[in-house]
Chains A and B, each alone.
Chain A
Amino acid sequence: MLDTTAEKKQPISTTSEWTFELIQEYDREIALLAKDFGLDTYPNQIEVISSEQMMDAYSSVGMPVGYNHWSFGKQFISVENNYQRGRMGLAYEIVINSNPCIAYLMEENTMAMQALVIAHACYGHNSFFKGNYLFRSWTDASSIIDYLLFAKNYIARCEERHGVDEVEALLDSCHALMNYGVDRYKRPYPISAHEEERRQKEREEYRQRQLNDLWRTIPKLNGGKEDIPVHRFPDEPQENILYFIEKNAPLLENWQRELVRIVRKMAQYFYPQRQTQVMNEGWATFWHYTLMNGLYERGKVTDGFMLEFLQSHTSVIYQPPYDSPYYNGINPYTLGFSIFSDLRRICENPTEEDRVWFPDIAGSNWKETLQFAMRDFKDESFILQFLSPKVMRDMKLFCISDDDREKEIVVNAIHNEDGYRELRAKLAGQYNLGNREPNIQVFSVDTRGDRSLTLHHTQHQRRPLGRDTVEVMRHLHRLWGFDVHLHSLNGDEITASYHCPELGRDRSEEEESMLVPKPI
């Protein structure tokens, strides 16, 4: 700690007040360090905002522009409430995956916090957005803001033309199915707002000329024989329910299809974020920690600065134990930070255990290894690959199995030699989106009969659907316009079915509801 070359090492600032010049200087120093560490980033756009603006940003999922919807208002009110009562501090960072990468600094923060946010968001998250394969292949950083603008304007126009209520109802229904509006395999093309508008017109015209297969009433020419093999539509189950609706729902107007599409695009944009929470936060936390320490080693910051930083850092990575009243699941910051830090340790100071568990990595160049880990994985595979026994020991992880056929909960594995592998596999499984959300797919459409839509839910370890299912079915019914059925399957056995409209209701009532999707 003793600083022998004090005259050379001049701290950038000594008080907690920030100025624009200081921010610039810190940013320059951090950028230099980050370059030494080999971080590749988009250019940064750092915006200083007030706490009210931060609350606005919060409630629009961090986006600088967004369409209007009551649910964002609800979000805003609850954020405002909590903040005003002092129940929560505002997160000190919101960062947008765009090019340039936009990061918000809040004016109330001290200089140390501003520097921390710059390191965390502008170099940590930013390099993750630029490097990780999911972000590279599924989102397009340069066009997102344009697209948001297009969406906002388009929806505003629809509201003028068709009324706020109608648009709101449709958006409600789309939001209910938002998690099922994701292409997991296809890659979207980056396009600009202008281009998007042109294409939207094109799609509209195309659709008007198109014959929807569902409406085909022309008699077949084979003498009325009905023994053609029944052709199932769609040929294969469809996982992207919103896409299926956009393309095939018989009663939707063109503008409604376009709205479905907008919600679908948003879902697609956020999809990588949902899959890389641990990695993304872990990576950013690891780098703010490393960069801040780097600044300290170069004598650019004072001891007081470091203490403030460490205080904030430790509260970010605090993991309450499972039996604590504050326990709220595994803290992604803690888990990610621990794994990345331990990776660095394995590279620099490998133990015998590490050589057995990570023969390729132990003793390698840590910068390259971390880059590799950041680039080519998502949470599930990242944990499966890199969660080391030491981290499991440090976090004292254990796995329980709760089977409703058993009387008691069984402890499957704990942080010991026999348990490491199982623990790691189970934790990775927990981050598989497919396990977290029920697997529901479009199974068939009754093209010859009542045009009803049937979905199948494939149960994961016999887990049933939640209580909202009936509500969501009503939303689905509004979009589809005809009857919808959902079967929940355990293997080949149907264990539960949901219908909208519910079966056994008066038929005439149902017919009415076929024509006019009922408000929910």
Chain B
Amino acid sequence: MKRYTIFVITENFIGILNRITIIFTRRGINIDALTASESRLEGIHRITIEVTATEESVIQLVNQIEKIIDVIKAFYHEDDSVVYQEIALYKIPVSRLDSGLEKIIRQHNAKIIAAEPDFVVLELSGHKEQTQELLEILKTYGLLEFARSGRVAVAKRMLTIDSFVK
């Protein structure tokens, strides 16, 4: 079992995400994270799916995803052939802000993106290990709320999707 990133290039039609996730459900494979956004081409969406599975099952998933009528192309990559990033938000009570926390924020390159009378919101982008490390520390600072995005990723190879979109 390994971590893989699956890219799905698809028409932006209602229900397409459902059709894709059904394929994972049928095979009993859990989706670790999923993000969807418009691609740089109008009307075409890209969905990024992170799974932990064997390569053999990922190949079959990709084949079956590509079989969906409105899917243009699907690829899979191992972690070292994609550049990826996740974003995490941490909500901390103002009462716990002190110089120790300020040091931690600096060390992790986190940013304060909102300051309210009762709380501040920190933001950190990076790989899961990095955002997780900060999470563990902030738990000792009365962390009120935490949210982490799925992975957004681009492939390292130079191939573009234009050739699949006539």
Interaction A to B: no
